[in-house]
């Protein structure tokens, strides 16, 4: 199973990614977590992306292509994976398509978790991660609407898209994802 999870910040995407990865026995690949790891390690990548992440903007597509290509080439991703936080732009979706074509594979499904903006803001206020100040949260939402939301149409055109209501309890959202995946 090769999956992409789409959803705005605070949609519960990360939580669902962990649950799904465990149930489907595939690695959950979170580019945000990978980058936070790089920042914590103060690696060359981490030093380069830290201020961009803190501002709520996106790391450039070329950097992300290298991160994802490297991660997907690891043996644990050969039998399937779940991407959480990638792709986030149309060029990133094209990069992912290229990586998959060159390994003669394809995505099975893209699940888009939809949550009203008022709920996203409420959730952000209760969370308090370092990059979740009100201003940064607003920027992350703006970036999502401008650069990531177009992926919904991109995957709809490719008949991969399943959208579902993320404004429900975690277990209910989880069950409905399994259902659209046919599990
Ligand atoms: P996340 O945990 O997925 O919300 O990611 C945290 C931050 O990491 C984002 O706000 C971006 O600055 C950066 N990031 C994560 N994934 C990507 C991506 N695919 N493209 C660009 N930036 C990313």
pLDDT in tens, the chain (183 residues): 999 999 999 999 999 999 999 999 999 999 999 999 999 999 999 999 999 999 999 999 999 999 999 999 999 999 999 999 999 999 999 999 999 999 999 999 999 999 999 999 888 887 766 556 888 889 999 999 999 999 999 999 999 999 999 999 999 999 999 999 998
Q: Which of 12, 53, 84 to mutate to test the pocket of ligand 1 (most atoms within 8 A of CB)?
A: 53
Q: How far is the CA of 78 from the centre of ligand 1 (A)?
A: 23
Specify the pLDDT at position 140.
92
pLDDT of res. 125: 80
Q: What pLDDT was estimated at residue 124? A: 83
Q: Count Cβ neighbours within 10 Å for each residue of 87-110 and write b for 16 or more, e otherwise.
A: bbbeebbebbeeeeeeeeeebebb
pTM equals: 0.95
Per-residue pLDDT at 162: 98
Mutate to test the pocket of ligand 1, among 13, 35, 46 (most ligand atoms within 8 A of CB): 35
| Ligand 1 site, CB within 6 A | 9, 31-32, 35, 52-53, 56-59, 64, 85-86, 88, 92, 140
What are the residue ranges of helices labelled H in the chain? 13-24, 31-41, 44-55, 61-72, 90-102, 117-125, 134-143, 150-157, 170-180
Which ligand 1 atom sits closest to the C-alpha of 33? 2
CA 88 – ligand 1 centroid, Å: 8
Q: How far is the CA of 98 from the centre of ligand 1 (A)?
A: 20
Say how far apart CA 11 and CA 6 lie, in whole Å.
9
CB of 109 within 8 A of CB of 181? yes
Ligand 1 midpoint to CA 53 (Å): 7
The per-residue pLDDT for 128 is 63
Q: What is the pLDDT of residue 14?
A: 95
């Amino acid at each position: 199973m090769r999956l992409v999870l789409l959803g705005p910040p605070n949609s519960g995407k990360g939580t669902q990614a962990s649950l799904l990865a465990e149930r489907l026995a595939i690695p959950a690949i979170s580019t945000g977590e990978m980058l936070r790891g790089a920042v914590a390690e103060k690696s060359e990548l981490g030093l380069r992306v830290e201020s961009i992440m803190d501002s709520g903007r996106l790391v450039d597509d070329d950097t992300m292509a290298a991160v994802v290509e490297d991660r997907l080439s690891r043996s644990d991703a050969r039998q399937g994976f779940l991407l959480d936080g990638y792709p986030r732009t149309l060029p990133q979706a094209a990069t992912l398509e290229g990586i998959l074509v060159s390994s003669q594979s394809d995505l099975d499904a893209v699940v888009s978790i939809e949550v009203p903006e008022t709920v996203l803001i409420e959730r952000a206020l209760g969370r308090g991660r370092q990059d979740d100040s009100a201003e940064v949260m607003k920027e992350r939402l703006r970036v999502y609407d401008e650069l990531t939301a177009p992926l919904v149409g991109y995957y709809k055109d490719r008949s991969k898209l399943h959208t579902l209501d993320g404004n429900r309890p975690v277990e209910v959202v989880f069950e409905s994802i399994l259902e659209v995946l046919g599990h």
